[in-house]
Structure 1
Amino acid sequence: MRRLLSSIQVPIWLKKHSFHTRLLVTYLLLTALSTSLMSGYLLWSFHSYFMRTRQADLENWTTALSESAADAIERQDLERLELLVHRYGAPETVTLRIFAPDGRLLVSSNPRDPQTMNWLEVAGVREALQNQTAQGLAKGLFSQDDRLYVARPILRNGQLLGVLRMSLTLQQYQRQFVTLAWAAMSALLLTVILCTLISDQLARSLSKPIQTMRNFAIRLGSGHFGDKLTIRQSTELDQLAIELNRMSERLASLDRERRVFLANVSHELRTPISNIQVTVEALRSGASEEPALRDRFFQTIEDETRRTARLIYDLLDLGRLEAGVTLLERQTIVLRQLIDRALRAVESRMKAKGLSTQLAIADVWLEGDPERLLQAILNILDNAIKHSKVDSSISISGYRQVKQVVIEIQDQGMGIRDNDLPRIFEQFYTVDPSRKGSGTGLGLAIAQRIVQAHGGTIAASSLVGQGATFTIYLPLKS
């Protein structure tokens, strides 16, 4: 059945119709096919059972009658033979004939039987005269109707006394069978009509939510993010609708982030470019003739160019990390050596601000890309240095916790307000807008993406006035 269904090809004309029409036609075809096969099987089973039963009846009757006929033939009692065939034969339905060993007709229940015809041509007679019982289906001699027959030799003590042939008409059965077939066809038609109504309701219940989801997907494709889809069915379609709603919300969120990101990038690039443009125009206007003013303007151009380049590099890094195209060169890393490298890189900046460090680094190893992890730690240290008070301390600790390495970096700055904490890892977000020009606003976002690329997480906590703590969780070396 499975092979049959898989081999059914959808007609080309049906492919052009709606899902509801295709589903309805499929249901109807399957219903018609299954009910037709069932009806055909039942009719065939009934016909086969009837034929076997009537054939068995004929065999039993001819076996019993052949004994009575043998007794009458031995005594040459033709009257008894006449009485026998007329008692068990009926002119229209059951024909009983007894033949002599030479093929002559002795007696018959049908008064129209001629005596002079060649009875050896009648089905089964020739075989019976050769001591073989014959049976089957043949046409009647006069009405040409279908008849079941049995031709049996009449034997006594191994001697052939004659042949008994009994036939049964099938006209009445055929009429009943035709009536039964019409009843089956009527039942089949009624079943198809009922199934059409039921299938139409079922097809609508399935196609309507699918059509709704199709229109919803079209709206999503057109940029209408954030729409809600409601499917009131306790089926897998509910789960699909929930996932589509989640996708819509996610797309809406991504679209908002994209717009904010583009706005922030435009703003961040506009400022240094404007400064460079204004400085170049000032130099063209004669500022280059004053050495002190000229040097200050060149320094401004250099600073703004460096700032723009750093922003572009950070954007490229962030883009690669979010797209997952950055390949990590995984190595075994000693945590203490990684922290020492980071401190050496920011040593001059810390001295300039009078900052000291308090270290508590355990002897642990982890696996990852040392350069990328160094970049993440430097971004967090850069944030801590910017917001630390002068002549304060930065605490760095690293230890093993179950199956992960924990790195904590704590400063003694002003801290982060509770409403700012959830957003500090967003792109271009800065807690202190007045100091936005001192960085690109991407450092913490890049640090988070690097840690996530290593299968870890990063979190921040703070008490206003007491500083902030950034905690990195990384998996241990397996």
Structure 2
Amino acid sequence: MGSIRRRLTVGMVAAMAVVVLAFAGATTLIVSHVLADRSRDNLAATAERTRGALAAVDGITLDDDDLRGLVGGQTGLRGVVVVGSGGTVLASSQVDPADADALAAVDAAEPVAAAGHYLAVGIPTADLDLTLERDGTATQVVHVVLTVDTTEQEAIVDAFVTLVAVGAVVSIAVVVASAVVIVGRGLQPLRTMADRADAVAAGDRTRRLPVQDRDDPAIARLARTVNSAFDAQQDAEHRVRAFVADASHELRSPLTAATGWVELEQQGALDDPARREHAMQRVATQLARMGTLVDELATLARTDAGTPLAAEPVDLGALAAEVVEDARVVDPDRRIRLVAAPAPVLGDPTRLAQVLRNLVANATTHTPPDAAVTVTVTPGATRHQVTVADTGPGIPPAHLPHLFERFWRADPARGPGGSGLGLAIVQSLVEAHGGTVAVTSTPGTGTTFTLTLPARTP
């Protein structure tokens, strides 16, 4: 939980920090570009006006007063450098004298950065008959450089950057504090769920996770899903306990009987050869019963574990014919009818035969000798259908939902007879082949088991 909280908090803070820093950087760049563009536009406009004014007069001689008024006298914002032949600085106004020589070299028609903190633009005047008079001497002016001092602009940008940086730090700090609180409160239901889950893991199978839809539908759905898993686990544990108890009961009866006969032999109570032979037959019968039960349990265990079955071409019609033929040999007085057509599937022939044998044996075991049994195989385009129907007394409706349960028998006394695994094996094997099995019954009329299996595609 701590790791999740840390990751969520760090993720939220990182995302917000990226947004805040990106916004701060973008804002700073925009402000810087706006100020720079404004300075360039102003300088370009001033240069254009000055260029037009000089061209409008036919020769002019400038003195220091004219020089100061050339750019409108905007002290601290614009300056001028007058350049003579050979790049000599003749005069300058509102420009740091130390930067005058560097600015004199600017001859660009558009504003450019120069001398570190100036924007400058050059105006050629060689053909304008422009002279500068100083100390009674007139000197030809080759070009004039107009400048803007960007120091104030840079100071504004620096102050804005500082303000934005402080705002970003404060914003990130607020985001961190908010993320800690929000994530902590948001994960509180998960912490409660974790505590409940720990209690369940510790052995309290009655505990369940709280479900509160009003807080968070997603967390409520998670809680319901986990509760369903706990319910399924508890049900599975109950089933396992019941299964083990039933298996123990089924194995105990033949084992006790066989042990009793063996003990009689060990005590010398079976001195009569006929009685001893009868005892050995009973022991063999009980051992065979145990062997059958163990085989059935092994079959269920393999299918429960998802052990792959053989995948061979099998004709359900031919397989049903073999099963019916064997059943007629075992019970020659029983009316067993077969209605079958070729129905190819892909599966395990041994297990599919076991399914049909179990269904036919179930019908002959639990119906009177005069009840007829009909096995029908109906092929289909995508799924084949096999039905095993009898004309016996039928099954009470209350018993139908339990027929495929393991070790379930209608007789509460669990007297001698089958193990109660036959139909459970049928369902398990059919489902392992991708099929379904169902039962319908009408008391006094008979019972029909219907199974479907996927048809084999060419």
1:182: Cα distance to partner? Answer: 3.8
- The 1-side partners of 2:62 and 2:375 are apart by 131
Within the candidate set 15, 18, 23, 1:30 is matched to 15
Distance 1:133 1:393 in 2: 111
1:316 Cα offset (Å): 0.8
Please say if residues 226 and 248 of structure 1, whose CA atoms lie closer than 8 Å, have aligned partners that are also in contact.
Answer: no
**Which residue of structure 2 aligns with residue 315 of structure 1?**
297
Q: Given the alignment, which residue of 89, 101, 104 partners 2:73?
A: 89
Larger mean Cα displacement after TM superposition, 76-85 or 413-422: 76-85
Q: Secondary structure in 2 aligned to 1:397?
A: strand
Residues 1:169 and 2:149 are matched in the alignment = yes
How much identity, in percent, do the aligned residues show? 23
Q: Which residue of 2 aligns with 1:98?
A: 82
1:65-88 deviation line (CA, Å, top 9, x unaligned): 255457889443426634534x62
Cα distance in 1 for residues equivalent to 2:311 and 2:3 = 53
Structure 1: gaps spanning 5 or more residues: 1-15, 140-145
Name which of structure 1's ranges 319-328 and 170-179 shifts more when overlaid on structure 2. 170-179
d(CA) in 1 for partners of 2:281, 2:120: 122
1:421-448 Cα offsets, whole Å, 9 max, x none, are 1111111111124454322221111111
User: Matches of 2:121 and 2:95 in 1, distance apart?
Assistant: 20
The equivalent of 2:136 in structure 1 is: none
1:343 to 318, 324, 337: 324
> How do residues 179-198 of structure 1 correspond to structure 2 at under 5 angstroms?
179-196=159-176, 198=178
SS in 1 for 2:369: coil
Residue 100 to residue 310, structure 1, CA distance change in 2 (3 Å): same
Superposition pairs of residues 394-405 of structure 1, within 5 angstroms: 394-400=373-379, 403-405=382-384
- Aligned partners of 1:219, 1:345: CA distance in 2, in Å? 56
- 1:330-382 Cα offsets, whole Å, 9 max, x none, are 214051x322211232234423xx422244x1424131333222111111222
2:134 aligned partner = none
Query: Of residues 341, 353, 367 in structure 2, which corresponds to 1:363?
Result: 341
CA distance in 1, matches of 2:95, 2:417: 127
In 2 relative to 1, CA 436–78 (structure 1 residues): closer, same or farther, beyond 3 Å?
A: same
* Partner residue of 1:472 out of 431, 451, 458: 451
CA contact (8 A) 1:451 1:458 kept: yes
Verify: 1:265 aligned to 2:250, yes or no: no
Q: Deviations over 1:84-118 (max 9, x none)?
A: 34x623454433232333555544434995xxx8x
- 1:150 matched to 2:129: no
User: Alpha carbons of 1:350 and 1:224: their partners in 2 closer, same or farther (altered >3 Å)?
Assistant: farther
8 A Cα contact 2:44 2:111, kept in partner: no
Q: Distance in 2 between matches of 1:445 and 1:242?
A: 30
Partners of 1:98 and 1:105 within 8 A in 2: yes
* Residue 234 of structure 1: how far off its partner (Å): 5.3
Q: Distance in 2 between matches of 1:370 and 1:273?
A: 32
Instruction: Indicate yes or no: 2:169 matched with 1:199.
Output: no
CA deviations on 1:285-309 (whole Å, 9 max, x unpaired) are 1123211221121111111111111
**Equivalent residue of 1:437, what SS?**
coil
1:282 aligns with 264
Indicate how the Cα distance of structure 1 residues 358 and 99 shifts in structure 2: closer, same or farther if over 3 A, else same: closer
Alignment map for 1:66-81 (pairs within 5 Å): 66=51, 68=53, 74-78=59-63, 81=66
**Residue 136 (structure 1) aligns with:** 113
Question: 1:462, 1:469 within 8 Å by CA — same for their partners in 2?
Answer: yes
- List alignment gaps of at least 5 residues for structure 2: 131-139
Return the alpha-carbon distance in structure 2 between the equivalents of residues 453 and 262 of structure 1: 23
* Distance of 2:276 and 2:444 partners within structure 1: 42
Q: Aligned AA for 1:155?
A: A
What's the CA shift for 1:212? 4.5
Give the TM-score normalised by structure 2. 0.84
What is the total number of aligned residue pairs between the two structures?
Answer: 445
Asked whether the 8 Å contact 1:124–1:151 carries over to 2, the reply is no
Cα distance in 2 for partners of 1:17, 1:179 equals 41
Q: Per-residue CA shift, 1:382-426, capped at 9, x if unaligned?
A: 222221113332233333467433322233444322222111111
Contact kept? 2:383, 2:454, Cα under 8 Å: yes
Pair 1:384–1:237, CA change in 2 (3 A): same
Q: Equivalent residue for 1:178?
A: 158
Relative to 1, partners in 2 of residues 1:95 and 1:346: Cα closer, same or farther, differing over 3 Å? same
Q: How far apart in 1 are the matches of 2:186 and 2:380?
A: 52
Query: Judging changes above 3 Å, is the alpha-carbon distance between structure 1 residues 101 and 396 closer, same or farther for their aligned structure 2 residues?
Result: same
* Residue 258 (structure 1) shift: 0.7
Residues 1:71 and 1:363: Cα distance change in structure 2 (over 3 Å): closer
Matched, 1:421 2:400: yes
Aligned match of 1:109: 93
- Relative to structure 1, is the Cα distance of residues 75 and 150 closer, same or farther in structure 2, using a 3 angstrom cutoff? closer
Counterpart-to-counterpart distance in 2, 1:339 and 1:308: 28
For the Cα contact (< 8 Å) 1:73–1:161, is it kept in 2?
no
Equivalent residues in 2 for 1:362-401 (5 A)? 362-367=340-345, 368-400=347-379
SS in 2 for 1:438: coil
* Residues 225 and 252, structure 1, Cα contact 8 Å, conserved in 2: yes
Contact preservation (8 Å) 2:81, 2:104: no
| Partner residue in 2 for 1:12 | none
